[in-house]
Amino acid sequence: MDTTFYRALGIQEENSGCSTGQNWITSKKSKILDIVSPIDGKHIASVHTCSTDDYLAVRDQALRAFEVWRTVPAPKRGDIVRQIGLKLREHKEDLGKLVTLEMGKSLQEGYGEVQEMIDICDFAVGLSRQLYGFTMHSERPDHRMYDQYHPIGIVGIISAFNFPVAVYAWNAMLAAVCGDVCIWKPSSKVPLSAIATQKIIAEVLKENHLPEGIFNLVVGGGRDVGETMLEDKKVGLISITGSTRVGRHANEVIARRFGKVICELGGNNAIIVTQNADLQIAIPAIVFGAVGTAGQRCTSTRRVIIHEDLYETVKKSLLKAYKSLKIGSPMDEKNHVGPLIDQDAVATFTAAVQQVRDQGGTVICGGTVLSGKGFESGNYVKPCIAEVSNDMEIVQEETFAPLLYLIKYSGDVENAIEIHNDVKQGLSSAIFTQNLREAELFLSCRGSDCGIANVNIGTSGAEIGGAFGGEKETGGGRESGSDAWKGYMRRQTNTINYGNKLPLAQGIKFNI
């Protein structure tokens, strides 16, 4: 395979996974992490991981950088982020290919992920002039009261393998314009994309004569780096993307030290198809939501709740669509479905398919591991469709793979909503209907209990302008757009007495 594109990003045979910007650290305590592509199982490069001591050295440099960065006016910080966006534009093609090579998503999705980074940079630039507080009327005469927002300090970012760079940018670019410094711990499955991103950002920092430690990278295991970061009282906020299990542990550890956390965890996302749905748009949305990124998005469609009048029609249409799917190397833009990330993911998929059968469900399509020419890595599977009931144990869990459940409902849309909400997760949701009442009910307080609720578009994918995150075991955190920036700052209420008396609140009298 041609390696020109990632050599252009500064990826070598051996790479340091610990950086404060221009400075890359490789200590004697570091371990070697060998990275292979899920596409063909071939070795790409190696990474020297961070030790606990390395992490602490990076943390200390981040604290020193924060002393400088927080004093830079927010619009000036925004200009640095603007320049980062321009650098990403220059490297979009190469970085997108590296994301695809390392993670296994389609080439279009690799480019799209880098475009998300560019888009969030643009969003953050505008945001740098809109970090608004509010002025309130005081009940006391000659007083002014208002709230304002200050930087938190160090923001730890723990990202997952399925979006090697975009979710980092959602957090880091907002944190940067807010005056925070970042320490990024990427998934150990996809560290090369993170190293390349760190080097791109370092170019901007160097050109602007900024100190080391504003954007930091620590590649390492959970014990050496992850746990140390969670327990570190000097890290004001940790944003973590991952499984519910990982998020629950992180919340417990961070809560003990009264730290702040943004959790974006598992999803068990459903689409409701009512008898009033337009199937011309519903079917493509379901298929892409279920098989895009090989079902490895937190917003992937897991369940389709279909009115009994349309059930057989939808089922037939989905089976026809699945037969037309092209599975193979994501480097070939003609293919629709690429590999799962690794053999553990494949084992989870096949185990889930077997549990569907064991628990009384019916597999009507796919569910097997592919082999032979083009599938030598063993990471390719045939996307699966199964007929199930929502109360089955396996349906209540998120399987991070292309496994789609069909569930029939009867009666009014209220019945579908009840089924929809009857899971532990609450990330993304959608309804397909041409009926205004059904759509509005789905979006009301009696409707979807998810953080994202859509009408006539699927569950998968989200615009950076909206706050991203979910409820229940999805964690309750919000990243990216809207007013999610407030999560990266500490709020302060201020009162100014410009008179010559000291009136107390609530009319209290205190004479001395």
| Catalytic residue IDs | 264, 298
Q: Residue 393: how many CA atoms within 13 Å on its side-chain side?
A: 7
Residue 330, class by beta-carbon neighbours within 10 Å (0-12 exposed, 13-18 middle, 19+ buried)?
A: buried
**In 3D, which of 115, 104, 133 has the Cα closest to residue 170?**
115
Helix axes 413-421, 436-443, angle to 10 degrees: 30
Q: Residue 489: how many CA atoms within 13 Å on its side-chain side?
A: 22
Residue type, 364: I
Instruction: Supply φ then ψ for residue 478, to 5 degrees.
Output: -135, 135
In the DSSP assignment, the letter for residue 332 is S
In whole angstroms, what separates CA 118 from the centre of its chain? 16
Bridge partners of 495, per DSSP, are 145
User: Which residues does 427 contact at the CB level (< 8 Å), separation at least 6?
Assistant: 264, 265, 266, 267, 268, 269, 298, 299, 450, 451, 452, 469, 470, 474
Task: For strands 43-48 and 260-264, give the pairing.
Answer: unpaired
- Rounded Cα distance between 508 and 512, Å, is 13
* Element spanning 353, H or E: helix 343-358
Residue type, 187: S
Largest CA distance in the chain: 90
DSSP codes, 182-225: EEEE--TTSHHHHHHHHHHHHHHHHHTTPPTTSEEEE---IIII
Bridge partners of 269, per DSSP, are 301
Residue with tokens 């009910």: 441
Bridge partners of 491, per DSSP, are 149
Distance of CA 401 to CAs 37, 114, 268, 291, Å?
18, 23, 12, 8
Question: What phi-psi label fits residue 490: left (phi over 0), alpha (psi between -120 and 50 degrees) or beta?
Answer: beta
DSSP codes, 385-451: EEE--TTSTTTTS--SSSEEEEEEE-SSHHHHHHHHH-SSEESEEEEE-S-HHHHHHHHSTTS--SS
DSSP codes, 131-194: ----EE--SSTTEEEEEEEEE-SEEEEE--TTSSSHHHHHHHHHHHHTT-EEEEE--TTSHHHH
